[in-house]
Amino acid sequence: MNAAPQFVFGYGSLAAQGEGCHVARLRGHRRSWGVAMDNRVDLPGYKSYRLRADGSRPAVFVAFVDVEPDARWEVTGICMPVDERRLRELDRRERNYDRVEITSAIGDAAGRVWIYRGSHDGRARLREAVACGCAAVSRDYRDAVVGALQAIATPREVSDVNRLIAAGRLAVLDLVRVDLDPGARPAQG
């Protein structure tokens, strides 16, 4: 017996996943820069960021795109087909987010639809970062999100990515992502 198809709604960097995906609209939400990771702390199997110019590790919180409920908006993204194995992989990758079912908010959903929405801790880290003036966005990540959205979203949604960075008082830094060894011991940077 075949299980019902499942999808993950990608609205940020996941929107760049094109193969086998279809464009969809999430009703009642808006895009934001809503979560952050603490770049001073190593988490095994996760990532950190270095400044491209000199390789130093900035003491910042790196922000990522999120969605928030807002009845006046819709978010354009992609529905990426997934199986249980891929969902487990994404659960590990998206550690600043909680996986939430949103099938009813996607028009004409062809199966069960999940989204990664900012976790309580991920959102708290961003609030802390904004309060201390140490919130940043990786230029490469921002450019990947903008590039993905230019192919599928409205011009307003694309321009909102940069407008929301400025409104959120986030610096854009030229950062290089460093993937951390899954077997490494956690360390404070």
Q: 6-182, which class in CATH? A: alpha beta
Q: Which amino acid is at 108?
A: D
Torsional class of 29: left (φ above 0), alpha (ψ -120 to 50), beta (otherwise) = beta
Number of other CB atoms surrounding residue 22 within 10 Å: 13
What is the Cα–Cα distance from 152 to 148, expressed in whole angstroms?
Answer: 7
Q: Count the helices and strands in the chain (H runs, E runs).
A: 4, 11
Confidence band of 1 (pLDDT split at 50, 70, 90): very low
Confidence band of 59 (pLDDT split at 50, 70, 90): very high
The count of residues in the chain is 189
Q: How far apart are the first and last CA of the chain?
A: 49
- Provide the pLDDT for residue 181: 82
| Mean pLDDT, range 9-25, rounded to an integer | 89
Look over the chain and give the mean of its residue pLDDT values, rounded to a whole number. 92
Confidence band of 182 (pLDDT split at 50, 70, 90): confident
- Provide the pLDDT for residue 2: 57
Domains of the chain: which residue ranges? Answer: 6-182
- In 3D space, the residue among 31, 37, 165 whose CA is nearest the CA of residue 96 turns out to be 37
Within its chain, how far is the Cα of 80 from the centroid?
15
Confidence band of 137 (pLDDT split at 50, 70, 90): very high
Q: Give yes or no for residue 152 having a pLDDT over 90.
A: yes
